[in-house]
Chain A
Amino acid sequence: MKVNVYVTLKPGVLDPQGKAIHHALEGLGFGGVADVRAGRFIELDVADGTSDADLDAMCAKLLANTVIENYRIERP
């Protein structure tokens, strides 16, 4: 079973990489971009029937650093 995990910076946490990407987009002539936030996408292939609690624990214990990041789990 494929599970998608999206890890994003919490609101209010400065994102220097997002800022740099934003600058580069402007440099390429793409105006009208208000803000860019960079995150991480992780695809897990887990046993069918893996519980929500286990997936949540995987995110909280390793995949995201909850001091600075939020995560969202997307099941098929």
Chain B
Amino acid sequence: MKTAVIVFPGSNCDRDMAVALEQVTGKAPAMVWHRESQLPDGVDFIALPGGFSYGDYLRSGAMAARSPILRAVSDAAARGVPVLGVCNGFQVLTEAQLLPGALMRNAGLNFVCRTVPLKVENSQSLFTAGYGAGEEIAIPVAHHDGNYFADAATLDRIEGEGRVAFRYADNVNGSARDIAGVLNDAGNVLGMMPHPERAIDRAHGGTDGLRLFEAALGVLA
């Protein structure tokens, strides 16, 4: 199992993500700098971490989405390699048009930083197969721009296709239809604002994030 974490200037959850991946796979991920144009050969799983890539200049995730490594990530995603974007990683995936919609400033304008209940909406995806359908899990959020937006037709489509992975049980940021996590049409790209890598150890206050990594990395299989 070969994993990679993409590191942008301003990423700040890259090490947490690396700890999560190593805990589950037993092997440290490759840390891939945004200026690289290639991923390690045979990479099985790619994570885009949280943070404030390029200082959120222009729009959150906008610059990172145009960095050289994103072309390689996009190619890998098209080949079916699982790609997980958390928080800023989710913003990057929408800006790169690997996921639909956009993440706007939180409706309440506050930076929201707390553990929130999430409803598992789709428990069939490769990322969420470790959860029960409709199960409520607790995962921390920490963001200013997590207000998910897409036009009504797009929202209807992704809901109809079962591509809403998670919803907020209590909408913390104004997201359309309480959406907290979205899958691409092939189901191998997941973007989510909550941080599963911050809920993998009892010392974190909960371990609900662990099952996402275990499912995605095939440990449960």
For B101, what are the chain A residues with a Cβ–Cβ distance below 8 Å? 67
B150 within 8 Å of A (CB atoms): yes
Q: How many residues of A contact B (CB 8 A)?
A: 11
Q: Tell me the dominant secondary structure on chain B's binding face.
A: loop
Q: How far is the CB of A55 from chain B (nearest CB, A)?
A: 17
Q: Tell me the dominant secondary structure on chain A's binding face.
A: helix
Chain A-chain B contacts (Cβ-Cβ < 8 Å), number? 37
A67 touches B174 (CB 8 A): no
Interface footprint category on B? 20 to 34
B58 touches A16 (CB 8 A): no
For A16, what are the chain B residues with a Cβ–Cβ distance below 8 Å? 104-109, 147, 174
B105 touches A67 (CB 8 A): no
A13 within 8 Å of B (CB atoms): yes
Question: Bound state CA distance, A67 and B104, in angstroms?
Answer: 11
One digit per residue, 1 when the CB lies within 8 angstroms of any chain A CB and 0 when it does not, for chain B 82-109 equals 0000000000001100001110111111
Q: Return the contact of B66 from the options A14, A62, A67 (Cβ within 8 A).
A: A62
Q: How far is the CB of A65 from chain B (nearest CB, A)?
A: 6
Closest 5 pairs (CB-CB, A-B)? A67-B102, A68-B102, A16-B105, A16-B107, A16-B109
**Extra 17 A-B pairs, beta carbons < 8 Å, given A65-B59, A65-B102, A68-B149:** A13-B149, A14-B104, A14-B147, A14-B174, A16-B109, A16-B147, A16-B174, A20-B109, A62-B58, A62-B62, A63-B58, A65-B95, A67-B94, A67-B101, A67-B102, A67-B149, A67-B151
